[in-house]
């Protein structure tokens, strides 16, 4: 161990002799390491963000809807809904949705808004947040109550955001009392492309709308499975029901969020891999920088090496000294990189008060990788130094 | 100081070369730098090897100093065959048994005088760095550099640099001091001081080989070996 300390001392003396160059090399290595840390963090944060968006739509959710394209029936009938309600197992809550439209005068202009008819479970299943008032109840649905819950956007446009207590809107020539204002649990659930609850929307009880509205098909059935394990049962049973009705499920789509989550994982794995490749290239560049500098150093210090060998240093001493120099450069670069790569997101997270998961694993990986890069790229110059001919190198000026 | 060693057989020479030849093969044209050198250095001897440039005396120094191993013939150091040993074996032997002094001093510019002098002891690794520095300090005191320990070599005069190099050569108490034109880069007054230092070391028991083309230096030695065209032309015992 004493001998390691000695070699470490020689290595540090060597680096000190060329401070500016050593710092620049460390910087190169640091940027490579920082990009590795950043890439790993971005991958994790990005994935968490997208997964959060998807899960915000509702948990254990299965959607069944007609595609609207194909030779066979492609839209869900009320009969299909009845069969699904009867025969699908593992259901926790169910919210069929009728998609209708109505025209409302808004600030003197006729505006078309979406009118959804659904059950009382919809708010839960689709993770709606009530800003004001309440959602309608199952009893109201069963009694054809003419009540409506409106979206935040419609609330803003129609009532200028003022309290809706006692207000009503006319839909299908009937007065609907407004009992609540909602917004979506995750605003950008629209990221899922099909969010019927986004925009200018009024939601009314299913049975009410079935009777007074124009919708003759069920747009979508949201089924919340009773547990994560039941999701597959719900998907399978729904498919079975549709197949027994139509002979195939070609005209319909049955999806669970698992489908999306799997897709997100697949995509984010691909992106992370791509970013890792780029980070790998920058580490490679940093490593080549180290090799380059070490080759220059070895060549400049030829006489120094010759003197050490003449005074009785072993080949191994010289090899170890230059490997250590390369190792110190790369690890110091690694530390710098971790400081930049982890410090920047932590600082931003602190300033903007958002949790930033800088994974400890990415820091450990970055250290390990930068040390290996240093040793790997330092090996060739160090071997060159250790293999020098003493007589020739002593005469070198 | 004492440079006493337990010599296995005081009657035998400290080192002996037999039929040593060294050929450089530059671009297919062989250059015969040494042609069958036979020579011996007795214990406690101060020997000068003289010859004009190109005579092969530098090559001889490299062979004697174990810096060059690509020769034919045999080389015994204290009775042990050293020809044919591997590079690390030669390094270890050179480290302990041979103190090298060069015309160009060959001090490491980034190290202090003290660190330079301690270097062979540090590479020997048989004592702690503190002990190495303590020994280096003693040697530097002995050569008259006690007040220059923390200076860098470029802050010293050339005579002081050579003294530092001599202190470095002495630190592991080698059996042989091998000096290559040690006064070649010095003015005559300083050269004489360095020469006096060698004589003094020799009187206290060191075996010294001086390689030189300077007759004044050589004449200070007990014995002169003349070398020309890679062969010893006189001085054989």
pLDDT digits (tens, 9 = 90+) for A178-210: 999 998 776 554 445 557 777 889 999 998 988
Q: Are B73 and B18 in contact (CB under 8 A)?
A: yes
Q: Minimum mean pLDDT among A28-42, A73-87, A344-358: which range?
A: A344-358
More confident residue, A9 or A304: A304
Asked if A390's CB is within 8 angstroms of B122's CB, the reply is no
Structural domain count of chain A: 2
Q: Does B100 contact A at CB distance below 8 Å?
A: yes
Start-to-end C-alpha separation, chain A: 34
| Same domain assignment for residues A13 and A146 | no
Q: How far B95 CA lies from chain A's nearest CA (Å)?
A: 4
Q: How far A333 CA lies from chain B's nearest CA (Å)?
A: 24
Taking all residues of chain A, what is their mean pLDDT, rounded to a whole number?
Answer: 84
Residue A185: CB atoms within 10 A of its CB come to 16
* Per-residue model confidence as pLDDT tens digits over A10-66: 888 888 888 888 888 888 888 888 887 877 777 777 777 777 777 766 678 888 888
Q: Which two tokens stand for residue A92?
A: 């926790």
Task: State the Cα–Cα distance between residues A318 and A309, nearest whole angstrom.
Answer: 8
Taking all residues of chain B, what is their mean pLDDT, rounded to a whole number?
Answer: 88
Distant-in-sequence, close-in-space partners of B225: CB < 8 Å, separation ≥ 6: B39, B47, B48, B49, B50, B232, B234, B235
pLDDT of residue A252: 85
End-of-domain residue from the set A211, A229, A256: A256
| Same domain assignment for residues A356 and A282 | yes
pLDDT of residue B35: 92
Q: Are A251 and A241 in contact (CB under 8 A)?
A: no
**pLDDT > 70: percent of chain B:** 94
pLDDT of residue B10: 63
Given A3, A17, A391, which is nearest B67 (Cβ)?
A391
| Same domain assignment for residues A28 and A68 | no
| Same domain assignment for residues A278 and A390 | yes
More confident residue, B16 or B8: B16
| Same domain assignment for residues A109 and A183 | yes
Mean pLDDT of all residues in A330-343: 87
pLDDT of residue A166 exceeding 80: yes
Mean pLDDT of all residues in B149-163: 93
More confident residue, B125 or B75: B75
pLDDT of residue A90 exceeding 70: yes
Q: Which residue of A312, A313, A315, A386 is the best one to mutate when testing the B interface, meaning the one whose CB has the most B CBs within 10 A?
A: A312
Mean pLDDT of all residues in A153-163: 85
Given A13, A16, A310, which is nearest B100 (Cβ)?
A310
Q: Minimum mean pLDDT among A2-11, A337-346, B183-192: which range?
A: A2-11
| Same domain assignment for residues A150 and A39 | no
pLDDT of residue B1 exceeding 70: no
More confident residue, B194 or B237: B194
pLDDT of residue A186: 64
Q: With cut-offs at 50, 70 and 90, classify the pLDDT of residue A349.
A: confident
pLDDT of residue A121 exceeding 70: yes
| Same domain assignment for residues A71 and A181 | yes
Q: With cut-offs at 50, 70 and 90, classify the pLDDT of residue B54.
A: confident
What DSSP assignment string belongs to B158-211? Answer: HHHHHHHHHHHHHTT--SEEEEESTTTTS-HHHHHHHHHHHHHHHHTT-EEEEE
Give the pairing of strands A220-225 and A168-171.
unpaired
| Same domain assignment for residues A230 and A323 | no
Q: Give me the count of residues in chain B.
A: 237
Q: In Å, what is the CA distance from A87 to each residue of A239, A244, A253, B227?
A: 11, 11, 18, 112
Task: State the Cα–Cα distance between residues B3 and A383, nearest whole angstrom.
Answer: 37
- From chain A, the residues in CB contact with B102 under 8 A are 394
Task: Report A:295-354 residues touching B (Cβ under 8 A).
Answer: 303-304, 306-317
pLDDT of residue A278: 82
pLDDT of residue B29: 81
Q: With cut-offs at 50, 70 and 90, classify the pLDDT of residue A397.
A: low
End-of-domain residue from the set A256, A275, A304: A256
Beta bridge partner(s), residue A295? none
DSSP alpha helix (H) spans, chain B: 57-64, 87-97, 113-124, 129-142, 158-170, 188-203, 215-218
* Per-residue model confidence as pLDDT tens digits over A204-255: 999 898 888 888 888 889 898 888 788 888 888 888 888 888 888 888 888 8
| Same domain assignment for residues A39 and A165 | no
| Same domain assignment for residues A181 and A129 | yes
| Same domain assignment for residues A112 and A179 | yes
Task: State the Cα–Cα distance between residues A367 and A283, nearest whole angstrom.
Answer: 12
pLDDT of residue A191: 46
pLDDT of residue B147: 92
| Same domain assignment for residues A274 and A233 | no
pLDDT of residue B107: 94
More confident residue, A270 or B120: B120
More confident residue, A307 or A46: A307
Q: With cut-offs at 50, 70 and 90, classify the pLDDT of residue B9.
A: low
CA angle centred on A246, ends A245 and A249, rounded to 5°: 110
What DSSP assignment string belongs to B97-111? Answer: HEEEE-TT----TTS
End-of-domain residue from the set A202, A228, A256: A256
Structural domain including A167 reads 61-256
More confident residue, B69 or A5: B69
Mean pLDDT of all residues in A323-331: 91
pLDDT of residue B3: 45
- From chain A, the residues in CB contact with B62 under 8 A are 391
Domains identified in chain B and CATH numbers: 43-70+87-232 (3.40.50.300)
pLDDT of residue A190: 46
Q: How many CA atoms lie within 13 A of B95 on its CB side?
A: 21
């Amino acid at each position: 161990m004493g001998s390691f300390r000695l070699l470490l001392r020689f290595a540090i003396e060597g680096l000190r002799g060329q401070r500016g160059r050593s710092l620049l090399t460390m910087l190169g290595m640091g940027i490579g390491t920082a990009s590795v840390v950043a890439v790993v963090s971005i991958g994790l944060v990005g994935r968490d963000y997208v997964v959060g968006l998807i899960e915000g739509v509702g948990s254990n959710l299965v959607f069944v809807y007609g595609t609207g394209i194909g030779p066979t029936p492609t839209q869900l009938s009320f009969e299909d809904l009845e069969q699904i309600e009867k025969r699908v197992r593992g259901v926790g809550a169910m919210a069929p949705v009728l998609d209708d439209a109505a025209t409302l005068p808004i600030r003197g202009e006729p505006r078309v808004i979406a009118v959804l008819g659904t059950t009382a479970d919809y708010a839960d299943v689709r993770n709606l947040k009530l800003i004001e008032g309440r959602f309608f109840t199952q009893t109201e649905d069963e009694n054809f109550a003419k009540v409506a819950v409106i979206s935040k956007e419609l609330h803003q446009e129609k009532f200028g955001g003022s309290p809706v207590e006692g207000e009503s809107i006319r839909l299908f020539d009937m007065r609907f009392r407004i009992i609540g204002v909602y917004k979506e649990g995750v605003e950008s659930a629209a990221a899922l492309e099909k969010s019927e609850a986004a925009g200018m929307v009024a939601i009314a009880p299913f049975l009410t709308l079935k009777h007074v509205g124009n919708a003759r098909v069920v747009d979508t059935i949201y089924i919340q499975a009773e547990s994560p394990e039941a999701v597959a049962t719900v998907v399978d049973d729904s498919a079975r029901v549709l197949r027994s009705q139509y002979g195939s499920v070609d005209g319909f789509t049955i999806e669970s969020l698992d489908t999306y989550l799997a897709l997100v994982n697949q995509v984010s794995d691909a992106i992370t891999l791509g970013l890792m490749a780029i980070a790998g290239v920058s580490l490679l560049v940093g490593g080549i920088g180290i090799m380059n500098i070490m080759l220059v150093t070895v060549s400049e210090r030829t006489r120094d090496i010759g003197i050490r060998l003449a005074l009785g240093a072993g080949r191994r001493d010289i090899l170890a000294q230059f490997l250590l120099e390369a190792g110190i450069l790369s690890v110091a670069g690694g530390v710098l990189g971790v400081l930049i790569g982890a410090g920047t997101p932590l600082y931003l997270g602190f300033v903007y008060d958002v949790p930033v998961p800088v994974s400890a694993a990415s820091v450990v990986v970055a250290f390990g990788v930068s040390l290996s890069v240093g040793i790997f790229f330092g090996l060739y110059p160090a071997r060159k130094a250790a293999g020098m001919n003493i007589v020739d190198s002593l005469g070198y000026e | 100081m004492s440079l006493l060693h337990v010599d296995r057989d005081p009657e035998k020479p400290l080192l002996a070369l037999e039929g040593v030849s060294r050929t450089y093969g530059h671009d297919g044209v062989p250059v015969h730098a040494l042609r069958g050198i036979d020579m011996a250095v007795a214990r406690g001897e101060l020997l000068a090897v003289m010859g004009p440039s190109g005579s092969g005396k530098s090559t001889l120094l490299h062979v004697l100093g174990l810096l060059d191993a690509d020769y034919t013939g045999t080389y015994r150091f204290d009775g042990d065959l050293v020809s044919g040993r591997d590079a690390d074996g030669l390094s270890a032997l050179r480290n302990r048994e041979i103190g090298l002094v060069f015309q160009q001093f060959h001090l490491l510019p980034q190290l202090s005088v003290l660190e330079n002098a301690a270097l062979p002891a540090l590479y020997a690794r048989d004592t702690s760095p503190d002990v190495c520095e303590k020994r280096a300090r003693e040697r530097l005191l002995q050569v008259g550099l006690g007040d220059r320990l923390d200076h860098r070599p470029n802050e010293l005069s050339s005579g002081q640099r050579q003294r530092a190099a001599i202190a470095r050569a002495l630190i592991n108490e080698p059996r042989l001091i091998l000096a290559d034109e040690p006064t070649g880069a010095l003015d005559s007054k300083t050269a004489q001081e360095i020469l006096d230092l060698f004589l003094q070391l020799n009187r206290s028991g060191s075996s010294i080989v001086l390689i030189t083309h300077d007759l004044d230096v050589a004449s200070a030695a007990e014995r002169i070996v003349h070398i020309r065209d890679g062969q010893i032309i006189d001085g054989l015992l």
